[in-house]
Amino acid sequence: MTDIVKRSARAILLDGDSLVLIKRIKPGREPYWVTVGGGVEDDDPTIEAALHREVFEELGGKLKRAELVHLITDEVDGGIGVQHIFAALLESMHLAARTGTEFSKPERGSYEVVRVPFTAEAVGELNLMPPQLAEFIAANTAAVVSVLDTPIREA
């Protein structure tokens, strides 16, 4: 069995009828878009906690709700990488509160927060990375909305 050596948490992040993404512009490369999220760190108590931390770091944001909806597995150096994909609702965002190395190192390029309509057509027009996530979103927009519209049941 191959070891999982890297985990990340990413959000299909909805704010009303819009999908909130990060447009990445790096020197010498065509622009591309990514969902909000990043690596799970050793001191994150859970993968969902890592997602909340990343949303705060990248957007100064808070989530209203997050539900795991998909996994993407990749071969990486030394084993397997797993991306945990959550459908999430944005509660608030304060870009002035963003933190993290991505904002203090200009050589890493720019991170522009953008909103696009949450439709298969709009997502299909973007160079959204990774391609497996773009395909999942385009094929499942109604399902993602239905997951987030489902009332939370108390146990």
Domain residues for the domain of 108 are 4-149
CATH number reported for the structural domain that contains residue 90 in this entry: 3.90.79.10
CA torsion 60→63→68→74, rounded to 10°?
A: -10
pTM of the full structure: 0.91
Task: Assess if residue 9 is contained within a domain.
Answer: yes
Q: Is residue 155 one of the residues assigned to a domain?
A: no
How far apart CA 88 and CA 77 sit, in angstroms, is 30
Domain count within the chain: 1
Q: Kindly state whether residue 145 falls inside one of the protein's structural domains.
A: yes
Could you read off the pLDDT of 80-89 as tens digits, one per residue?
A: 999 999 999 9
What pLDDT, on the 0 to 100 scale, is given for residue 109? Answer: 80
Is residue 94 a part of any domain in this protein? yes
Please check whether residue 154 lies inside any domain of the structure: no
Let me know if residue 99 belongs to a domain. Answer: yes
| Residue at 104 is within a domain | yes
Per-residue model confidence (pLDDT) at position 2: 79
